[in-house]
Amino acid sequence: LEYLEKDIKEIIIDEETLQARIKELGKEITESYPEGTELILICILRGAMIYMADLARCINLPVSFDFMDVSSYGDSTESSGNVRIIKDLDDSIENKDVLIVEDIIDTGLTLKHIINMLETRNPASIKTTTLLDKPDRREMKQVEVDFNGFEIPDKFVVGYGLDFAEKYRNLPFIGVLKESLYS
Ligand code: PRP
Ligand code: MN
Ligand code: MG
């Protein structure tokens, strides 16, 4: 996607590395549940959609999909800490095994908020997976991710679902945006 690649300073995780790690994560997730467990994958829109689409195809369990839209960043590069529920799940999760799928955990505010909210609905279990983890930025130290793809440094990354002002989500890799584009 040349029209987007010119805005990228550096590729930090290439397509092949991403796909190989997602296969491993799918296997890890599959093996962590009893055989045949019906799992609800909860995609946190919009960033997690690409990861969830690829991950779901690497999980060898009967899965179903549900979607929740929670936004805190808007068009800024900084989390506002103000988590808004824009779209709730369509189905009940009571007595169901759910896996929350996120693209990135940064401050941890979004994931913490979602876990707290879903716990009140009495699911059988809640686990979490994020493709990327920026541990240097964590504010919610008590949030633990069950299946994490990659730890990354505190740089503004885009691609593979992650945006800047809604752009770059369709890049097939994780890259660092040129500073001149947002400073
Ligand atoms: C981003 C990202 C995570 C969240 C992580 O979403 O996709 O959901 O922020 O940040 P945190 O750990 O500091 O809460 P965003 O709100 O930008 O919405 P988007 O997924 O639609 O891009
Ligand atoms: Mn998001
Ligand atoms: Mg965003």
So what's the pLDDT on residue 142?
86
Nearest-CA residue for atom 18 of ligand 1: 71
| Domain presence at residue 56 | yes
| Domain presence at residue 165 | no
106 counts as catalytic:
yes
Task: With a cut of 70, list the residues of the chain below it in pLDDT.
Answer: 73-82
So what's the pLDDT on residue 91?
98
Nearest-CA residue for atom 21 of ligand 1: 46
So what's the pLDDT on residue 83?
80
Instruction: Give residue 76's domain range.
Output: 15-152
So what's the pLDDT on residue 32?
98
Of all atoms in ligand 1, which is nearest to the CA of residue 140? 12
The predicted complex's ipTM stands at: 0.97
CB-defined site of ligand 1, < 6 Å: 44-47, 71-73, 79, 102-111, 163
CA gyration radius, the chain: 16
Split into its structural domains, the chain has a count of: 1
Read off the CATH number of the domain in which 79 is found: 3.40.50.2020
